[in-house]
């Protein structure tokens, strides 16, 4: 058996098309142009490419897009002043500060300054609390993208046993809440879980978000399970010459080659969950704009 490949790009394309249609409607019927501001501190090439993609895709959807690139030695006061201004700007409906920040900066007060209404990354404590309480909230983009892929692949998730490996605020905890809301039985696990392989083997749905390359092996997976690999890890190439030249490639938290022979379906890395994250960011920005403007 070879697993079905869950390609994120086609699903993300459909979501972006829906966003563009809704943006056009909002501009025509309400004079409302959703606006997204992205802030990046530092010069990490991968983050710069990611932020550039967000800007390009938001503009392509007809949205107002602003990108602020700050030097790596930016002070806490300067960053907070910028975020405070963006949070008060009526033309901006979503504010995203690219994480992680340089080590000398504290992300918690920055996220608080964004406020829950413009927190399109779903990290504000109010949005996290509303998610747990089952109330409308802006939910973190990557977990929402995972859920969309799961429902597109499996349909109704009721009664399925989902195991989430990873307990981060950005992925693990919110995806567990989203799966509970879909009537799954959810087990939260992590790198220190006793008998982690045995726990994973119980999963009808296995979400890997632990941040360790190829940690989850093929024999950890229940035959026929749906595997969502959120991991983004850079590792040396298997080819010794390429590795010696310092070349790296991106792999997930799941040993993909092994998992292909066991799972019923699986997301590749890259081109699986990744494309969904930006598409959901655009969706969240439109949602925030409508709520702020009082538009249904």
For 160-203, give the DSSP string.
-EEEEE---TTTHHHHHHHHHHTT-EEEEE-TT-TTHHHHHTT-
Q: Say whether 141-276 and 31-132 share the same fold.
A: yes
Distances (CA, A) of 282 to 22, 37, 52, 84, 128: 11, 11, 14, 21, 19
Q: How far apart are CA 7 and CA 25, in angstroms?
A: 29
Q: How far apart are CA 136 and CA 70, in angstroms?
A: 33
Whether 146 contacts 157, CB under 8 Å? no
pLDDT > 90 fraction of the chain, expressed in percent and rounded: 87
Residue 265 has a CB neighbour count (10 Å cut-off) of 18
Mapped onto helix, strand or coil, the DSSP state of residue 141 is helix
Query: What pLDDT is recorded for position 242?
Result: 72
18 catalytic residue (yes or no): no
Q: Which range has the worst mean pLDDT, 93-102, 200-209, 229-238?
A: 229-238
Query: What pLDDT is recorded for position 248?
Result: 85
Compute CA 201 distance to the chain's CA centroid, rounded to the nearest angstrom. 25
Query: What pLDDT is recorded for position 48?
Result: 83
Of 57, 98, 118, 160, the active-site residue reads 98
Query: What angle in degrees, to the nearest 10, is found between the helix axes of 8-30 and 45-60?
Result: 50
Query: Model confidence over 163-174: pLDDT tens digits?
Result: 999 999 999 999
The residue among 243 and 170 whose pLDDT is bigger is 170
Whether 204 contacts 226, CB under 8 Å? yes
- DSSP-derived letter for residue 104 is T
Query: What pLDDT is recorded for position 39?
Result: 96
- Angle, CA of 214, 159 and 197, to the nearest 5°: 25
Query: What pLDDT is recorded for position 244?
Result: 72
Helix H or strand E encompassing 21: helix 8-30
Residue 45 has pLDDT above 90, yes or no: no
Helix H or strand E encompassing 123: none
- Which of the four pLDDT bands, split at 50, 70 and 90, describes residue 246? confident
Tokens of 97: 């500060």
Mapped onto helix, strand or coil, the DSSP state of residue 233 is strand
Task: Report the CATH number of the 141-276 domain.
Answer: 3.40.50.720
Of 57, 118, 119, 121, the active-site residue reads 121
Q: What is the mean pLDDT of residues 242-270?
A: 91
Residue 58 has pLDDT above 90, yes or no: yes
Residue 254 has pLDDT above 90, yes or no: yes
54 catalytic residue (yes or no): yes
98 catalytic residue (yes or no): yes
Mapped onto helix, strand or coil, the DSSP state of residue 272 is coil
Query: What pLDDT is recorded for position 210?
Result: 95
List the domain boundaries for the chain: 31-132, 141-276
Residue 121 has pLDDT above 80, yes or no: yes
What is the residue-averaged pLDDT of the chain?
A: 95
Tokens 């790296």 belong to 248
Q: What is the mean pLDDT of residues 113-125?
A: 96
Query: What pLDDT is recorded for position 239?
Result: 73
Residue 234 has pLDDT above 90, yes or no: no
Q: How far apart are CA 117 and CA 130, in angstroms?
A: 12
- Which of the four pLDDT bands, split at 50, 70 and 90, describes residue 245? confident
Tokens of 91: 């033309």
Task: Report the CATH number of the 31-132 domain.
Answer: 3.40.50.10860
């Amino acid at each position: 058996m070879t697993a079905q490949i869950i390609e994120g790009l086609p699903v993300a394309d459909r979501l972006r098309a829906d966003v563009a249609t809704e943006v056009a409607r909002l501009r025509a019927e309400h004079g409302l142009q959703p606006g997204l501001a992205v802030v990046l501190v530092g010069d990490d090439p991968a983050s710069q490419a990611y932020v550039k993609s967000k800007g390009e895709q938001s503009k392509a959807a007809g949205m107002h897009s602003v990108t602020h690139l700050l030097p790596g030695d930016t002070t806490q006061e300067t960053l907070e002043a910028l975020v405070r201004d963006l949070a008060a700007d009526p033309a901006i409906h979503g504010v995203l500060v690219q994480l992680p920040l340089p080590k000398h900066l504290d992300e918690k007060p920055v996220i608080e300054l964004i406020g829950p209404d413009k927190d399109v990354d779903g990290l504000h404590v109010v949005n996290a609390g509303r998610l747990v309480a089952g109330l409308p909230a802006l939910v973190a983009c990557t977990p929402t993208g995972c859920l969309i892929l799961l429902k597109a692949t499996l349909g109704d998730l009721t009664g399925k046993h989902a195991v989430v490996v990873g307990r981060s605020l950005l992925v693990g905890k919110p995806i567990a809440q989203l799966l509970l809301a879909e009537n799954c039985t959810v087990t939260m696990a992590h790198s220190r879980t006793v008998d982690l392989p045995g726990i994973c083997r119980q999963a009808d749905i296995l979400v890997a978000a632990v941040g360790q390359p190829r940690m989850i092996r093929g024999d950890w997976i229940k035959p026929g399970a749906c595997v969502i690999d959120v991991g983004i890890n850079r590792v040396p190439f298997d080819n010794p010459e390429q590795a010696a030249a310092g070349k790296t490639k991106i792999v997930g938290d799941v040993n993909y080659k092994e998992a292909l022979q066991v799972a019923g379906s699986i997301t590749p890395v890259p081109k699986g969950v990744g494309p969904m994250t930006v598409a959901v960011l655009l969706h969240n920005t439109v949602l925030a704009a409508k709520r702020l403007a009082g538009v249904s």
